[in-house]
């Protein structure tokens, strides 16, 4: 898929909504699904997986990144995040960092708020990433 190809937002949103049914959220009861398309046109999905220790909960976006690795890796181009209650859900700070690693500044993020998808650079300005380690390797 070239960068000029239209992003299939409706399909991303629908698959993300569908993924909420696979969420494991017995503690918060907030089910979250995510679906992304890679730069080469593959779909990856995820759903949140909670834990009795609460802090070890895996967000839908983390689960999606695991799916990305499972299907061969690559770069994320656009992602839709959907809550089971259909209300907008912002990606948490940790997930913004996790997504940055695999999609970078240009990753488009739809959080179901009805506004145009937002580039990750606006959700995580000045992000720390792999390049910050690369510049140190040569020293
Ligand atoms: N959650 C996500 O899956 N993604 C986010 O970006 C925000 C929060 C989940 C984690 C937890 O299972 C539930 O929503 C309530 O915080």
Which DSSP helix (H) or strand (E) runs through 43?
strand 43-47
Q: Which two tokens stand for residue 12?
A: 């991303």
Q: Pick the residue whose CA is nearest to atom 13 on ligand 1.
A: 30
| Ligand 1 touching residue 47 (CB < 6 A) | no
Handedness of CA 7, 125, 34, 113 (dihedral sign): negative
| Ligand 1 touching residue 67 (CB < 6 A) | no
The whole-angstrom separation of Cα 32 and Cα 127 is 24
Say what the pLDDT of residue 96 is. 98
Q: Which residues are catalytic?
A: 61
Residues 89 and 82 sit within 8 Å (Cβ to Cβ): yes
**Predicted confidence (pLDDT) per residue in 32-82, tens digit:** 999 999 999 999 999 999 999 999 999 999 999 999 999 999 999 999 999
Please name every residue paired with 81 in a beta bridge, in sequence order, or none if there are none: 34
**Predicted confidence (pLDDT) per residue in 1-38, tens digit:** 556 689 999 999 999 999 999 999 999 999 999 999 99
**Predicted confidence (pLDDT) per residue in 81-137, tens digit:** 999 999 999 999 999 999 999 999 999 999 988 889 999 999 999 999 999 999 998
Phi then psi for residue 108, to 5 deg, are -90, 130
Quickly name the fold that domain 4-135 has. Cytidine Deaminase; domain 2 (3.40.140)
Say what the pLDDT of residue 131 is. 93
pTM (predicted TM-score): 0.95
Q: Report the separation in Å between the CA atom of 5 and the middle of ligand 1, taken as the mean of its atom positions.
A: 30
Which single residue is written with the structure tokens 């140190």? 136
């Amino acid at each position: 898929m070239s960068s000029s190809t239209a992003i299939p937002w409706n399909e991303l949103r629908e698959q993300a909504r569908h993924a909420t049914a696979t969420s494991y959220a017995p503690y918060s009861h907030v089910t979250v699904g995510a679906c992304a398309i890679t730069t080469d046109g593959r779909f990856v999905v995820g759903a949140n997986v909670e834990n009795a220790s609460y802090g070890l909960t895996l967000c839908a976006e983390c689960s999606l990144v695991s799916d990305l690795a499972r299907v061969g890796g690559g770069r994320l181009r656009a992602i839709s995040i959907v809550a089971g209650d259909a209300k907008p859900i912002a990606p948490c700070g940790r997930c913004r960092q996790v997504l940055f690693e695999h999609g970078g500044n240009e990753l488009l993020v739809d959080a179901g708020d009805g506004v145009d998808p937002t580039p990750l650079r606006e959700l995580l300005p000045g992000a720390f990433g792999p390049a910050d380690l690369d510049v140190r390797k040569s020293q």
